[in-house]
A = this chain, B = another copy of it.
């Protein structure tokens, strides 16, 4: 790794890079001097600064002709309202901060991507703040910082730390939680105490995936679970219910983390048991690890064991074998979260379609081996 430690050149500028600079800049900001303020626009348009403020905020009672002039001056001066000043003065919120415990896991990063995209369209600034640990102090700190005046919050609450963070957000701050499918008490509570939460309902999908494996002839389906913020997730519940419907007692789920290594370890455990012929995994990384472990244990996938994941990461199609998995559209979920936030702060809520999870059958699943299959 190479780090050019030099400080950038000071005012005496060279022509080469100066030439590059404004090449293709949009209409505004001519010259390059300090950007125009609302006052500059006001005097340029011959109105008061307040009128300009009204125009840029879409206030109704401004005469059309006046608005025209102001708009023209804005364009001419390349004026851009200063978000910071706006926030200080207590204006409309124009920023979201995403609170998450991890920005690299597929679900979370995809959600962030969706939020960023929606926010960009709505001309919101987006901030990101990672919650360092589950420790109360860290959680409180993360919330405090993220809240800093002028920003709404979206909390990706897929684990304990972020779940706590979501709970700790003061009620006067606009917030939307991206959560696991509410279950049991929580779900019931939601009907009486609606909260601004969004989620992907994966119970049915988990059930479908399980039923699919069963239909292939497997006697049972094992489950390798991601950590759940709630005591029992709906993903797990869906798996259980499908098993129950088929009159099969659910085996003990294997508790794992989020990463492939954890899946690998779970896989090693499972590989030793010849009764294991079908494994449903909480996410694709886990599935990848399980497949690898099976492989190493001399149990080909799908020949000897079927493995199904959750997420459908872009790579899943190209794994060997290509992974059968449940597609979860986290990017869309992120967009939905942002839409919910807009609804909450009064901006027109763009109703979003609700794509459902979908089982994508590929190569990693098939009938059980002749010897052990058939029920």
A 140-162 contacts with B by CB, 8 A: 140-141, 144-145, 148-150
Interface residue tally on A, bucketed by range: 35 or more
Given A167-B23, A320-B295, also A148-B4 (CB < 8 A)? no
Bound: A355/B3 CA distance, A: 11
Verify B82–A149 contact, CB threshold 8 A.
Answer: yes
Q: Is A310 an interface residue (CB 8 A)?
A: no
Verify B336–A264 contact, CB threshold 8 A.
Answer: no
The residue of chain B having its C-beta at the shortest distance from the C-beta of A4 within the complex is B197
Bound: A168/B4 CA distance, A: 20
Stretch at the interface among A51-59, A130-138, A217-225, A270-278: A130-138
Give per-residue flags for A269-304: 1 if the beta carbon is below 8 A from chain B beta carbons, else 0. Answer: 000000000000000010011011001000000000
Stretch at the interface among A7-15, A64-72, A241-249: A7-15
Of B1, B9, B113, the residue contacting A104 (CB under 8 A) is: B113
Q: Is A315 an interface residue (CB 8 A)?
A: yes
Of B28, B110, B123, B130, the residue contacting A117 (CB under 8 A) is: B130
Most B CB within 10 A of own CB, among A129, A196, A199, A315: A315
Given A7-B343, A103-B113, also A333-B1 (CB < 8 A)? yes
Residues of B within 8 A of A333 (CB): 1
Q: State how many angstroms separate the Cβ of A268 from the closest Cβ of chain B.
A: 12
Q: State how many angstroms separate the Cβ of A370 from the closest Cβ of chain B.
A: 23
Residues of B within 8 A of A198 (CB): 1-4
Q: State how many angstroms separate the Cβ of A81 from the closest Cβ of chain B.
A: 9
Q: Is A344 an interface residue (CB 8 A)?
A: yes
**How many monomers of this protein are in the complex?**
2
Verify B1–A354 contact, CB threshold 8 A.
Answer: yes
Given A7-B343, A17-B167, also A1-B200 (CB < 8 A)? yes
Given A21-B170, A144-B80, A150-B84, also A344-B8 (CB < 8 A)? yes
Bound: A181/B2 CA distance, A: 9
Most B CB within 10 A of own CB, among A14, A190, A314: A314
Q: Is the interface of A mostly helix, strand, loop or mixed?
A: mixed
Residues of B within 8 A of A196 (CB): 4, 6-8
Q: Is A366 an interface residue (CB 8 A)?
A: no
Q: State how many angstroms separate the Cβ of A235 from the closest Cβ of chain B.
A: 14
Verify B288–A319 contact, CB threshold 8 A.
Answer: yes
Verify A3–B339 contact, CB threshold 8 A.
Answer: yes
Give per-residue flags for A337-355: 1 if the beta carbon is below 8 A from chain B beta carbons, else 0. Answer: 0011001100001001011
Given A88-B88, A285-B315, also A3-B354 (CB < 8 A)? yes
A-B residue pairs, 6 tightest by C-beta: A24-B136, A6-B194, A20-B167, A1-B354, A260-B318, A292-B318
Please list 14 pairs of residues, one from A and one from B, whose beta carbons are closer than 8 Å in the complex, sorted by A's number. A1-B199, A1-B336, A4-B195, A4-B340, A9-B194, A17-B167, A29-B144, A82-B148, A84-B84, A116-B128, A127-B127, A259-B314, A285-B315, A320-B320
Besides the known contacts A1-B198, A14-B193, A126-B129, 20 further A-B residue pairs in the complex with CB atoms under 8 A apart: A4-B190, A4-B196, A7-B196, A8-B344, A9-B194, A16-B189, A16-B193, A21-B167, A23-B167, A24-B168, A84-B149, A103-B109, A104-B110, A120-B130, A123-B145, A125-B145, A127-B127, A260-B315, A263-B318, A292-B318
